[in-house]
Structure 1
């Protein structure tokens, strides 16, 4: 069993701990933890190997591998090490080509998978979380159905024949005789299916988020407060009980964990006003262990009555210097590059247009393709990054689109009166039902909330 001991310097001081979750690489073999555990097949002692790691553009996971030297039994699992997301995720993939069968799939214990064309459904918690492929999901289902088929053909020949027919239908999926769909739903929001065209959008891959029901929250161990507690929390505060501190001149600190390595650190928070806009909360975190830095902006006001869409034509250095307040609900797009960045890829931040483009560039620095992708995928991303670099050098004129259904995003105008200039277009639009569902507004009760629903 491997034990991790904090390093000490010559003076006896304890050095800063190493990051717990690091990017996937071949140098992580020294971080594997080995634990003796019982084999569920022969009940002898085997070895479980644990590797905490990060999947770029996704989240932290723990990879587990068990092997029994006595009977040869093996088992591989993946468990999410990140927190439960605010919303569940629903992913639909149209499988049309052999390359679609090789798409990587990360699924947690709380995910369900279905293939409507063959009436296949793998319910929640029927299988452990894993890192696999579309073909691997089908192959594992075939292996599960084939188990004990020889005995079943003797005792229950009719049922065995039906299972054989169904296994053949699954094998036809692998041969792609007809296209089919893979539907993945995860109530914890910690699953995803690879987009090989990243950072461009994939017409075959559709991702949406949904609000969990009370039963789904309880399945995850999230329980709502009872009615009496809700009434206590919703009780209005008397005017003489209002806090008297002026938070605009204060920098507050609170303890948190580094989002990169999970080491303890502190986050600084300050309330400020953006001219011509509204009140916002700026937060900054610097990790003393791994040096990771984050800057995040949260809206200090409520959700606007309409969504907002900014279109910025970037043709000069002045356009790159525009101030931008991007909220955590704002998505980005560059139509000329066929590029879409969802609201969860970049957190809320107060920066410039150039700073926003640089942050998008850093998200696409190729780490996702260092280990497992084929050479064609690496070259495709490299060509895209070279084009992106030319955009930053103003060798190409592009349009940056910022769309925020909550209406809490702001882009500075180059005019003194803050009215839109020639290279800036501002559109207000009514949110759709899906937008309101994403923001949690459909189930929100703002009037007579003290009454029982």
Structure 2
């Protein structure tokens, strides 16, 4: 890859480096890197073009395009440049009409695609990561099966006839005479299927998250510390534990900006929230692109019960309530039919107004502005305008925060801060088996863990 040396102005100050990954646009032609590489079709020298960019509704990616001037062979691929997510993802799409074939699909190298109705399964690493559509996945499968069919009809006529019959079944999928399911499983969590009704929920689209197994972590190159090495470590007695008071002290550690990947520093502080618990607040400010983030981690364990807050927003005071949203808390606004999962917005310490602004920015910043049709754009624009009406208190809504771990807190405006006011409802509920599974509590041994299993 070619690189541009940072120039030093006359004043002697070093110019700030440009972000590596920028929003995808038509002015990125200067950032394309060209590399000579061998053509896999004719073994002559072709050209590979690389473009690091950010795709709306997704993350940082590297787009790769190859073309051979000798034989005309072309190839397009996509590789994810973002970090591996904490959980894997399962996406199930019910394809009921021809319009569903145009849904955009972003799949990484670690994804597996299947269509049970025709017994089709595209395993991991059989196809490179790509940005495509549902129809594009079917077309690429047909093209792969049809390759060398003429030769196969001569050498193996029975196998060729079987493949022709199966290709015909795939062709009928594009007519959508009967509904079928498209299943996408990605252990890295970096895949996505478009929701045309966004930000409203799509009844045809179901997304679930799962905890990776040790084998899946090793496939991604994530290895745990060797148990033999752990036994070599000398255990520290309880009376030898170092005692350090971190309250009021701000710690700093180097990291990379989540927006432009430039080096920066993250500030971390342990604080105690009244009538709640200890939390760890982390804030990052990038000096290169100006991006700011704040994240909150609970300093305690998982509560015995989940918690659900319902806040009715009618006055300015309601917008100024302090909110501690944990990374396991999901948000919803029933009046707008809007649901935001826990993975969309990380844990943060903010206000009700700050949460609404973050939800609006997330929806506005992750929408396909450049490729969406005009009707979808207008629909999204009208929905985003409702957030402006909420900020002006022209529309009354109820903000629901649901946290199965019980580590979320909403400030009360009553005289007694420990009791909810008239517009704040707090509900405690017992977690379901699925909630415990997502939190990793079903496999957690809390009693007799010091004893060796037989």
Q: Does the alignment reach a TM-score above 0.5?
A: yes
Matches within 5 A, 1:15-414: 15-231=15-231, 237-365=236-364, 368-414=367-413
Please report the RMSD computed on the Cα atoms of aligned residues, expressed in angstroms: 1.6
TM-score (norm 2): 0.96
Instruction: Give me the whole-angstrom Cα distance separating, in 2, the residues matched to 1:367 and 1:105.
Output: 14
User: Secondary structure of 1:308's match?
Assistant: strand
User: Secondary structure of 2:27's match?
Assistant: helix
Instruction: Give me the whole-angstrom Cα distance separating, in 1, the residues matched to 2:422 and 2:353.
Output: 18
- Residues 280, 299 of structure 1: 8 Å contact kept: yes
Instruction: Give me the whole-angstrom Cα distance separating, in 1, the residues matched to 2:2 and 2:249.
Output: 46
Q: Could you say if the C-alpha distance between residues 399 and 251 of structure 1 is closer, same or farther in structure 2, counting changes exceeding 3 Å? A: same
- Residues 366, 382 of structure 1: 8 Å contact kept: no
TM-score (norm 1): 0.96
Instruction: Give me the whole-angstrom Cα distance separating, in 1, the residues matched to 2:320 and 2:100.
Output: 41
User: Secondary structure of 2:172's match?
Assistant: helix
Describe the superposition over 1:86-144 as per-residue Cα deviations: whole angstroms up to 9, x where unpaired: 11100000011222111111111110000001000001111111111000000000000
- Residues 3, 33 of structure 1: 8 Å contact kept: no
Instruction: Give me the whole-angstrom Cα distance separating, in 1, the residues matched to 2:358 and 2:446.
Output: 37
- Residues 413, 424 of structure 1: 8 Å contact kept: yes
User: Secondary structure of 1:200's match?
Assistant: coil
- Residues 57, 345 of structure 1: 8 Å contact kept: no
Describe the superposition over 1:388-447 as per-residue Cα deviations: whole angstroms up to 9, x where unpaired: 211111111111010111110001111122212221111111212221222122222233
User: Secondary structure of 1:359's match?
Assistant: helix
Instruction: Give me the whole-angstrom Cα distance separating, in 1, the residues matched to 2:146 and 2:362.
Output: 43
Shift of 1:232: 6.2
Instruction: Give me the whole-angstrom Cα distance separating, in 2, the residues matched to 1:433 and 1:229.
Output: 35
User: Secondary structure of 2:207's match?
Assistant: strand
Instruction: Give me the whole-angstrom Cα distance separating, in 1, the residues matched to 2:229 and 2:435.
Output: 30
- Residues 39, 45 of structure 1: 8 Å contact kept: yes
Describe the superposition over 1:156-211 as per-residue Cα deviations: whole angstroms up to 9, x where unpaired: 11111111111111011001111110000001111111111111111111100111
- Residues 334, 340 of structure 1: 8 Å contact kept: yes
Shift of 1:58: 2.1
Of residues 375-384 and 56-65 in structure 1, the stretch that sits farther from structure 2 once superposed is 56-65
Describe the superposition over 1:252-298 as per-residue Cα deviations: whole angstroms up to 9, x where unpaired: 00000000000100000100001110000111111111111111111
Instruction: Give me the whole-angstrom Cα distance separating, in 1, the residues matched to 2:133 and 2:39.
Output: 26
Instruction: Give me the whole-angstrom Cα distance separating, in 2, the residues matched to 1:197 and 1:285.
Output: 33
Shift of 1:367: 5.4
Q: Could you say if the C-alpha distance between residues 366 and 285 of structure 1 is closer, same or farther in structure 2, counting changes exceeding 3 Å? A: closer
Structure 1 unmatched runs, 5+: none
